[in-house]
């Protein structure tokens, strides 16, 4: 099982989240970039992770957003038309994902993927 973290605002169509197989475990507002976004967390079965990644890669806004699916040791970071694998404790994998994210105008401060293994939103104070 992997946990998907998706911002509704990151999707071209908010109903596109229905294309991700999994059980919704939480939904909450999060302050981001001077506004508030809606975060949805889903538990995605292992055999549906790849399909979820590629579905999200097709439905994300073309700039400024990513989604993630992770377990305790690895994280798939989904960008528009791209997916990067980050492994816990391996800085080179984080750096690769950050380089890809930079192509989509995502600030490095929002791509602290290694820290996301410990806290879902390290760039936001008072986050869950």
Which domain, by its residues, includes 63? 2-117
Using the structure block, give the residue that is written with the tokens 């694998």: 85
Specify if 22 maps to a domain. Answer: yes
Specify if 81 maps to a domain. Answer: yes
Say yes or no to pLDDT of 124 above 80.
Answer: no
Tell me the whole-structure pTM to 2 decimals: 0.92
Residue 121, pLDDT score? 67
Angstrom distance (rounded) from CA 85 to CA 89? 12
* Residues 60 and 67 sit within 8 Å (Cβ to Cβ): yes
Specify if 13 maps to a domain. Answer: yes
Please give the average per-residue pLDDT across 85-93, as a whole number.
98
Specify if 20 maps to a domain. Answer: yes
- At 24-57, the pLDDT tens digits run 999 999 987 788 999 999 999 999 999 999 999 9
Angstrom distance (rounded) from CA 92 to CA 11? 28
| Mean pLDDT value across the chain | 93
């Amino acid at each position: 099982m992997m946990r998907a973290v998706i911002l509704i605002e990151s999707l071209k169509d908010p109903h596109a989240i229905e294309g991700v197989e999994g059980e919704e475990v939480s939904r909450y507002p999060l302050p981001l970039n001077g506004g508030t976004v809606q975060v949805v967390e889903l538990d995605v079965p292992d055999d549906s992770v790849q399909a979820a990644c590629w579905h999200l890669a097709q439905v994300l806004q073309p700039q400024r957003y990513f989604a993630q699916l992770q377990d305790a040791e690895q994280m798939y970071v989904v960008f528009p038309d791209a997916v990067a694998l980050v492994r816990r404790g391996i800085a080179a994998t984080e750096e690769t994902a950050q380089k890809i994210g930079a192509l989509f105008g995502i600030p490095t401060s929002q791509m602290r993927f290694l820290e996301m293994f410990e806290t879902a939103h390290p760039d936001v104070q008072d986050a869950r």
